[in-house]
Amino acid sequence: MTCTYRNSYLESDQFFTLILHILSVIQFPLHVYGAYVIIRKTPIVMKNVKLPMLILQLVCASFDLIVTIGIIPVVQFPILAGYPLGFLYTFGVPPYVQSYVAVTFLLMLGPSVAMFFESRYNFLVRKDSETKSRKTKRAIHHFANYLHVALAFAPIVFDMPSSSETRRIFLEKLPCIPTEILERPGYTMLGNHSIVRITVLVVVAMCFIQVIAFFYPTWSHISNTRSLSLRTIELQKSFFKALLFQIMVPFIIILIPGCYIISTYFTYDFDILICNMVLVSFTLHGLLSTIIMLTVHKPYRTATVQILRIGKQETSLTVRILSIN
């Protein structure tokens, strides 16, 4: 067990809050614009992925804004303890409620991604995709996914240890950390760590299994279809690859710091600066997902280019009018 505490500005709450506030200023308008182009600029040929894409966008945006503005959680890994710095605590929202909201919205990414791939599977592979019974089954399936995630962490966060018990566990597991951290307002810790790990593992495994179950038959169908024109097949492959790229690249952004968090359970190495950067990297997921969405999908890319060229077009028009006069 090692503890790294430099007592520098980079480890301070002020610096951490500043970074997250800067990110929120960048993320908020971009997330709003991303939702706008999905709602208003999605072409008919992409109508089957419009709702899943919008839900994924809203989940990413909600998690980012909750963390960067609402909670601003300072978390100590591997003991899963910390304190909030956001306006929710200022308004008197209990830390255990904030913990529940943050963890739940992060895990909501799982069923959102599963819904993404299921929509492609349903549209391309299923022959009964437009029947009433199929739509009902899909609605029940996705509702059950989101409900499971919404309820998964409730027993854990509503059964957190008391302040005295939190201090005891903290000093037992990380005695080398300055004890003034324990005196921060709202300091709390999630409950039984074994249950936390099992819960996260079950939620992630269920979503991962669904993604694989929908991805493989969809890709196999696209690759082996011979009844469509070559151009149509290539367009389907290109669109599916774009969706995969939109999902996988931001996922890697979460996977890398996630691996660090897992490693701390075995090494019990603690570094305040790295813990803060882990939280920052989590909030970059939604930002990167939105940027990739606006880049890899041609309708959204075209709409964005047209909007960015408005000023240039107006300037050009003014120049032409002046030259004519």
User: Residues 34-61: pLDDT tens digits?
Assistant: 999 999 988 887 888 889 889 989 998 9
Q: Which of 83, 118, 115 is nearest to 99 (CA)?
A: 83
Measured CA distances, 278 to 20, 86, 201 (Å): 12, 17, 19
Does residue 129 sit within a domain?
yes
Are 181 and 89 contacting, i.e. CB atoms less than 8 angstroms apart?
no
Kindly give the residue spans of alpha helices, DSSP state H, lying in 125-271: 132-152, 154-157, 163-173, 193-224, 230-267
Q: What are phi and psi of 318, to 5 degrees?
A: -60, -40
- What CATH number has the domain bearing residue 301? 1.20.1070.10
Task: Please report, to the nearest 10 degrees, the dihedral formed by the alpha carbons of residues 52, 53, 56, 62 taken in order.
Answer: -120
6: pLDDT strictly greater than 50? yes
Q: Which residues contact 131 (CB under 8 A, 6 or more apart)?
A: none
- Asked if residue 325 belongs to a domain, the reply is no
Residue 81 belongs to a domain: yes
What is the separation, in whole angstroms, between the first and last Cα of the chain?
Answer: 78
Mean pLDDT over the full length of the chain = 82
Reduce the DSSP state of residue 274 to 3 states and report it: helix
Taking only the tens place, the pLDDT of each residue in 164-220 is 777 777 777 777 777 777 778 888 887 667 777 788 888 889 988 999 999 889 888
Note whether 121 and 114 are within 8 A (CB): no
Residue 299: inside a domain: yes
Token pair 């939702």: residue: 35
Residue 191 lies in a domain: yes
One-letter identity of residue 323: S
Q: Encode pLDDT of 218-239 as tens digits.
A: 888 887 777 667 777 777 778 7
Q: Are 189 and 157 in contact (CB under 8 A)?
A: no
Q: Which residue bears the tokens 């089954």?
A: 137
pTM > 0.85: no
* Total domains, the chain: 1
Q: Provide CB contacts within 8 A for 14, sequence distance 6+.
A: none
Indicate the range of 101-115, 180-194, 212-226, 247-261 predicted with least confidence. 180-194
Q: Is 324 part of any domain?
A: no
Domain coverage including residue 204: 2-319
Domain assignment present for residue 287? The answer is: yes
- 226: Cβ–Cβ under 8 A, 6 or more apart, which residues? none
d(CA 175, CA 18) in angstroms, rounded, equals: 29
Closest CA to 193 of 223, 214, 173, 222: 173
59-63, 203-207, 268-272, 285-289: segment of lowest average pLDDT: 268-272
pLDDT tens-digit readout, 14-37: 999 999 999 999 999 999 999 999
Beta-sheet pairing, 81-84 with 188-189 = antiparallel
| Residue 64 belongs to a domain | yes
pLDDT at 311: 47
Q: Is residue 248 predicted with pLDDT exceeding 60?
A: yes
